Amino acid sequence: MLSVKLPRLLTVQQVPKVFHEDSIICGYRSPRSSATACVLSLFQMTNETLNIWTHFIPTWYFLWRTLSVLFSPGSLHDPFMWPLLVYLLSCCIYPLMSTFAHTFSIMSTQARHMCFFLDYGALSLYSLGSAIAYSAYVFPDRWVNNTFHRWFVPWAVCNTVISTGMSCYSRFPEETRPRLSKVLRTTAFAYPYLFDSIPLFYRLLLCSGDDCTHNAALTMHIWHTLLAFLTGFLFATHLPERLAPGCFDYVGHSHQLFHVCGVVGTYIQLESLVLDMNLRRTWLLNSGSFPTIFSTVGAFFWSLLISLLIIIIFSKALYLMPKNKKLR
């Protein structure tokens, strides 16, 4: 009878420091796993299993939503739909890259760093996708076509490049200066989110009057904002496992909760964007706010190319480091 031998799991004392997760004691996979062993571990309860599945399954949902919009009549020829398509593409890329990173990051030390370089680049592109959609559908009426609105997407492109570079660099001081590494990584993802949300925060907190775009989408935007802050809190604090090390090794640790909150938040963000898009379409088109190929697809793919270049540079740096200074 055919049987499959699942990889043996290790404790934190049995793996190199670079593979350690804060307050996670057991359930580690071998740090020199083959690609086959990595795939087999998807069907074994490890401290990464739920991290993988909580992003792999949503990838297919977002892909289905993307294809539904892509193949709807006239969508490719309607510039008003292009920001939504770019946003949906970013929603497919970031959970897919996260799945890839968490699955194959145990093949070697260098593989771990390179896998998460790709993960960070994908998150930065998701932030840009959000900015492009926000520029098209979320800006309050009184800000549409002003100077800030015209420069919003170019600025978001710069943020994407900075975010990718900073987050990739944050892996280098991870062992010697872990606090600096954490601050750099948290800042790399928090800053683009806060910038992207400026028009939304203004609508929610400061704007008053008829030209503030108070509509049914605001309630969903509030829920997405709350989940975004909860996601950041989980990422930064490593709760609840810090309160009881070893008790949440397999189920319930912060990174799993971070994934779940992030994906649910993305779903709510998507629904709120679609609602804003449908409710405001006539007014936005009459105001002359037309998305262009350069501010949507062009901005996204230029950022994609630059992010890939940054990832290649940092990956090359891993192999050029002196042996006594290599990350391990």
pLDDT in tens, 88-133: 999 999 999 999 999 999 999 999 999 999 999 999 999 999 999 9
Q: What total of structural domains would you count in the chain? A: 1
Report the CATH number that the domain containing residue 249 is assigned in CATH: 1.20.1070
Q: Is residue 105 a part of any domain in this protein?
A: yes
Q: Is residue 328 a part of any domain in this protein?
A: no
- Please report, rounded to a whole number, the percentage of residues in the chain having pLDDT higher than 70: 97
Q: Is residue 48 a part of any domain in this protein?
A: yes
pLDDT at residue number 137: 97
Neighbour count for residue 247 (Cβ, 10 Å): 14
pLDDT > 60? residue 274:
yes
Looking at every residue in the chain, the average pLDDT score rounds to 93
How many angstroms separate the CA atoms of 163 and 188, rounded? 5
Q: Is residue 131 a part of any domain in this protein?
A: yes
How many angstroms separate the CA atoms of 31 and 109, rounded? 7
The model's pTM is: 0.95
Domain of residue 190, residue span:
33-319
- Each residue's pLDDT tens digit, 49-78: 999 999 999 999 999 999 999 999 988 999
248: amino acid identity, one letter:
F
Tokens of 307: 């992010």
- Each residue's pLDDT tens digit, 17-29: 999 999 999 999 9
Q: Is residue 89 a part of any domain in this protein?
A: yes
- Please report, rounded to a whole number, the percentage of residues in the chain having pLDDT higher than 90: 87
Counting Cα atoms < 13 Å in the Cβ hemisphere of 80 gives: 19
Contacts of 1 (CB under 8 A, 6+ apart): none
Q: Is residue 327 a part of any domain in this protein?
A: no
- Each residue's pLDDT tens digit, 290-319: 899 999 999 999 999 999 999 999 999 988
- Each residue's pLDDT tens digit, 123-166: 999 999 999 999 999 999 999 999 999 999 999 999 999 999 99
Q: Is residue 268 a part of any domain in this protein?
A: yes
Q: Looking at residues 197-211, what average pLDDT do you find?
A: 90
Distance (Å) of CA 323 to CA 33, 252, 317? 22, 37, 12
The pLDDT-based confidence of 2 (bands split at 50, 70, 90) is very low
Q: Which long-range contacts does 34-39 make (Cβ < 8 Å, 24+ apart)? A: 34/107, 35/104, 35/107, 37/7, 38/103, 38/104, 38/106, 38/107, 39/103
Helix (H, G, I), strand (E, B) or coil at 7: coil
How many angstroms separate the CA atoms of 272 and 222, rounded? 10
The pLDDT-based confidence of 1 (bands split at 50, 70, 90) is very low
Q: Is residue 306 a part of any domain in this protein?
A: yes
Beta-bridge partners for 10: 28
pLDDT at residue number 288: 85
pLDDT at residue number 99: 98
Specify the DSSP class assigned to residue 28.
Answer: B
| Rg, the chain, Cα only | 21
Helical spans, DSSP H, in the chain: 35-40, 49-70, 82-104, 109-137, 147-169, 178-196, 198-201, 217-237, 254-286, 299-320
The pLDDT-based confidence of 7 (bands split at 50, 70, 90) is confident
Tokens of 293: 């190929």
Neighbour count for residue 168 (Cβ, 10 Å): 27
How many angstroms separate the CA atoms of 182 and 113, rounded? 15
Q: Looking at residues 1-23, what average pLDDT do you find?
A: 84
pLDDT at residue number 212: 82
